[in-house]
Amino acid sequence: MKRKIMRKSISFVFALTMIMASFLTIGNKTRLSASTINSITATGYHHTGQAWDPSGNGVSAFFNGQSIDKLVVDANVGSCVQPWKNVTDLGNYTPTPASNDYLSKLQYHAWTKLSTKSNYDYAVWQLMVWEYFGYTPTSHDVPNYAARKSQIATEIKGHTVLASWNNQTITLNKGESKTIKDSNGVVAGMAQIGSIAGVTITRSGNNITLKNNGGNANGTAVFYKFATTSESGIIYTHPVSQNIGYYPLGDPASSKLNIRTSNGNVKIQKTGNAFSEISETTVDGTTYQSPVFSLQSLADAEFTITADGVIKNHSGKELYADGAIVEVITTDANGIATSNNLPEGNYNIEETRAPIGYNRDTAIYKHSVTAAGGGEQLKTIAAENMKKPQFYSINKTLEKNPVAALQNEEAFKDIEFTIYAADVLYNYNQTLSIDKDTPITTFGIDAEGMMVSRTIDDISGEEVETPFTIDLPYGEYYVKETKTNDSYELDETIYPFTISADTDEEELYIAINDGHEMINKLKEYTVIVNKTNERTGEAIVHNDFEFEAKLYDVNGKVVDTQKVNANTKDGTATFKIKGQVAKVEIKETKAPAGFLLSDEVKIFAIDNESEKALFDENKVYSFTYTNEMIEIVKSGDTSNMYGNMGLLGISGLVMMLIGFLIYKRNETLRFQLAIEEQSEKIVKAYKGAGQQASYQAHTTEKARKGGISAQKIKTGYVNKKVYKNRGEPNQSSTSDYLENKKKE
């Protein structure tokens, strides 16, 4: 028995409009011709429950053991999409295009795809449609509904699972066959396999085999998981009766396979010199790590393939105009770039971008693909990139010695520089490295300041000088002077430089210190002469001391003479000497009044040994000269005459002895001649203010002791007035007297 209770809170037309807007997507609003329900067939299954209009208008229907009927409209088996209504009219249905992805997949998997369709299958489908619209019967008599519903739900979920190779591109050469496997397992059940002209496609289980039949066929093969249909969805609406939906499958779940066919291909092997090894050498306890370059595969080289003439396919259709770009390929980590997409024709292959740090290969490589012979036409091109050459320069000069004869014109040969890594340096594939601050190599300079390498010839054993060349990996470095000539200060400045790969220059020019002049200064040695009083040990502070320094070359020749006076502050005399000298001779050439001239001569060399032995860390050598002081005897004071005789030396003692032997009587010519001779010597040696008077007084006293009368002395032998005034003696009086004594 059938019962139905209807409640209406708003107009039926408004309710119908809300339902259609909320649950059905209307595609084409164009109205079709009126439709009629062809049949209503009882499935033999029933349901009980109350269905409400989901639009919220309060319309509902209660079913108690209601028959689940199969509906056919315009020969299309549809389903009830308004469970809150009954069928009250078989005619006056309006078909309108509509689509619903879920309802189309549900209809396909629950009904359409079944080769044998039963009332049971329809009843399951109808119950699932009602549930979609919000009506779940409180009871029904459809057996195993839950299990069948779960199975259909699983099939709907897997509906969009496509072949594992979907949207991939397969390249086929002439006559080539390839088999690909679908790991998703959907190919075996596909309703339709794809096709493309010139290619045979066959299926075996989940495997697809493709064979190029010999043309330049390019295209996409589409494989359909489900049968396609030209039908579109329809919603049959009625102003009073329930609406009926018909949703053929809109998505056949297609998988696409892009197929490119060619008659040939080309492979390019790109190589270039790259840092691949480390060479270690140890010299004088220092270990150097130098990079070694060899041919290695280069990545990231770009090649452009262009048509050399018009290229057509097998039917004569133009594929590429003359000069047109066919393909751009790039080398991988193994230095390989391959093109498999070359139709029959002629091609030009040119490197359009070199790897960073390398110069572009400007060669144009020719390649032809012919139809003859069939199969893969592979040509391998070996292309080598040249690493950008490096050129180094340095602006090194040596300070000139102010004494030209002491200038060592070959001092530059003793200068050595070392190149260090300023940061870690890695080889081309990051498997080797040179640590930061590791010495890499050395170089010197020639007479013109150019960088050179010096090696020892294995045969002659002589040093060989060649232009400095080196190939360093890109990175950060610095240069430091590690050896210099003995006459020069070592330049300990660090000069950084960078070898950059990111430049458009084809040659790299590296100027150490940016090309600015780097000067080696001569060592400056200071020699200080200290003057002291021999008796007191105190410094003699007087600027009338004069010292002379003679500089000798290695041949014993005097090449420079310097004279300096002592200063009046501390009694020292200072010489400044630049560079090393084979021999230095220093002596006193002038003493001030009251001091005897020192006969001491200081001789030494300025070399590495003396620099350590004589000079301090500031290159200062200091030594002391002592001078004897001449004692001045005052007039009339004989109390200390003999006590002060030490200043007169040995000659004075001899003279006193002679005077004693001829005491009083023996005034012979021999005595007078001795006095004359000694007088001349002493006068010559002790010229200077105040010294002559001292001498005269001393001589007068000796004459008196030798028997010369006081009257003779008074009448001219010594001019007392002159003596008192510390002036010159009366030479004429003295000489006349001596001359007379000779005659006697």
pLDDT of residue 712: 41
CA 675 to CA 658: how far, in whole Å?
Answer: 9
Q: Does domain 390-516 have CATH number 1.10.287?
A: no
Give the 3-state DSSP-derived string for 6-46, with helices as H, strands as E and coil as C: CCCCCCHHHHHHHHHHHHCEECCCCCCCCECEEEEEEEEEE
pLDDT of residue 684: 52
Give the pLDDT mean for 334-352.
88
Residues with Cβ within 8 Å of 709's Cβ and at least 6 positions away in sequence, in order, are none
Residue with tokens 């006081």: 710
In this predicted model, what pLDDT tens digit does every residue of 503-537 receive, in sequence order? 888 888 999 999 999 999 999 999 999 989 888 88
pLDDT of residue 629: 85
- Other C-beta atoms lying within 10 Å of the C-beta of residue 354: 20
Give the pLDDT mean for 31-40.
73
Give the pLDDT mean for 217-238.
83
Do 264-387 and 524-627 come out as alike in CATH topology? yes
290, 741, 211: which is closest to 477 by C-alpha? Answer: 290
87, 42, 82, 81: which is closest to 65 by C-alpha? Answer: 42
Predicted confidence (pLDDT) at residue 340 exceeds the cutoff of 50: yes
Burial class (CB in 10 A: 0-12, 13-18, 19+), 336: middle
Give the pLDDT mean for 195-221.
82
Both tokens assigned to 553: 């070359």
pLDDT of residue 549: 95
pLDDT of residue 377: 53
Most confident region among 26-40, 256-270, 662-676 by mean pLDDT: 256-270
Give the pLDDT mean for 56-82.
90
In this predicted model, what pLDDT tens digit does every residue of 619-656 receive, in sequence order? 999 999 888 888 665 555 554 444 444 444 455 555 55
Q: How far is CA 594 from CA 221, 383, 435, 573, 687, in A?
A: 125, 94, 71, 19, 10
- Other C-beta atoms lying within 10 Å of the C-beta of residue 15: 21
Topology, domain 524-627: Immunoglobulin-like (2.60.40)
User: What proportion of the chain, given as a percentage, has pLDDT over 90?
Assistant: 40
521, 518, 490: which is closest to 415 by C-alpha? Answer: 490
pLDDT of residue 730: 41
- Confidence bin at 379 (pLDDT 50/70/90): low
- The DSSP secondary-structure symbol of 634 reads P
In this predicted model, what pLDDT tens digit does every residue of 461-494 receive, in sequence order? 888 888 999 889 999 999 999 999 999 999 999 9
Predicted confidence (pLDDT) at residue 252 exceeds the cutoff of 70: yes
The residue ranking higher by pLDDT, 229 or 530, is 530
In this predicted model, what pLDDT tens digit does every residue of 599-621 receive, in sequence order? 899 999 999 999 999 999 999 99
Predicted confidence (pLDDT) at residue 55 exceeds the cutoff of 70: yes
192, 205, 201: which is closest to 254 by C-alpha? Answer: 192
Helices and strands: H and E segment counts in the chain: 11, 44
pLDDT of residue 216: 61
CA 263 to CA 340: how far, in whole Å?
Answer: 9
Give the pLDDT mean for 66-79.
92
CA 484 to CA 488: how far, in whole Å?
Answer: 7
pLDDT of residue 678: 53
SS3 226: coil
- Other C-beta atoms lying within 10 Å of the C-beta of residue 487: 22
- Confidence bin at 9 (pLDDT 50/70/90): very low
Residues with Cβ within 8 Å of 739's Cβ and at least 6 positions away in sequence, in order, are none
Predicted confidence (pLDDT) at residue 578 exceeds the cutoff of 90: yes
CA 744 to CA 739: how far, in whole Å?
Answer: 9
- Confidence bin at 592 (pLDDT 50/70/90): confident
H or E segment and range at residue 347: strand 345-353
pLDDT of residue 309: 95
Residues with Cβ within 8 Å of 483's Cβ and at least 6 positions away in sequence, in order, are 414, 415, 416, 490
SS3 86: coil
Q: Where are the domains of the chain?
A: 12-160, 264-387, 390-516, 524-627, 645-743
pLDDT of residue 254: 85
Q: Are 142 and 45 in contact (CB under 8 A)?
A: yes
In this predicted model, what pLDDT tens digit does every residue of 146-170 receive, in sequence order? 999 999 999 989 888 988 999 988 8
CA atoms within 13 A on the CB side of 501: 15
Q: Are 394 and 518 in contact (CB under 8 A)?
A: yes
Side chain identity, residue 557: K
Q: What are phi and psi of 661, to 5 degrees?
A: -65, -30
- What are the residue ranges of helices labelled H in 451-605? none
pLDDT of residue 402: 92
In this predicted model, what pLDDT tens digit does every residue of 84-114 receive, in sequence order? 988 888 888 888 888 898 999 999 999 998 9
Strand partners, 196: 199
Most confident region among 58-62, 194-198, 216-220, 442-446 by mean pLDDT: 442-446
Ranges of beta strands (E only) in 187-335 are 199-204, 207-212, 218-224, 234-237, 244-246, 254-262, 264-283, 286-297, 302-307, 311-312, 318-320, 325-330
Mean residue pLDDT across the chain: 80
CA 213 to CA 222: how far, in whole Å?
Answer: 19
- The DSSP secondary-structure symbol of 265 reads E
Give the pLDDT mean for 580-587.
95
pLDDT of residue 262: 58
Predicted confidence (pLDDT) at residue 569 exceeds the cutoff of 50: yes
pLDDT of residue 54: 87
pLDDT of residue 548: 95
Query: Per 3-state DSSP, what percentage of the chain is helix, strand, and coil (rounded to 5)?
Result: 20, 40, 40
CA atoms within 13 A on the CB side of 94: 9
pLDDT of residue 663: 44
Q: Are 172 and 207 in contact (CB under 8 A)?
A: no
Topology, domain 264-387: Immunoglobulin-like (2.60.40)
Strand partners, 260: 171, 218
Model's pTM, two decimal places?
A: 0.50
pLDDT of residue 27: 35
In this predicted model, what pLDDT tens digit does every residue of 677-717 receive, in sequence order? 555 554 454 444 344 444 444 444 444 444 444 444 443 33
Both tokens assigned to 368: 């032809």
Both tokens assigned to 428: 């081309």
pLDDT of residue 676: 55
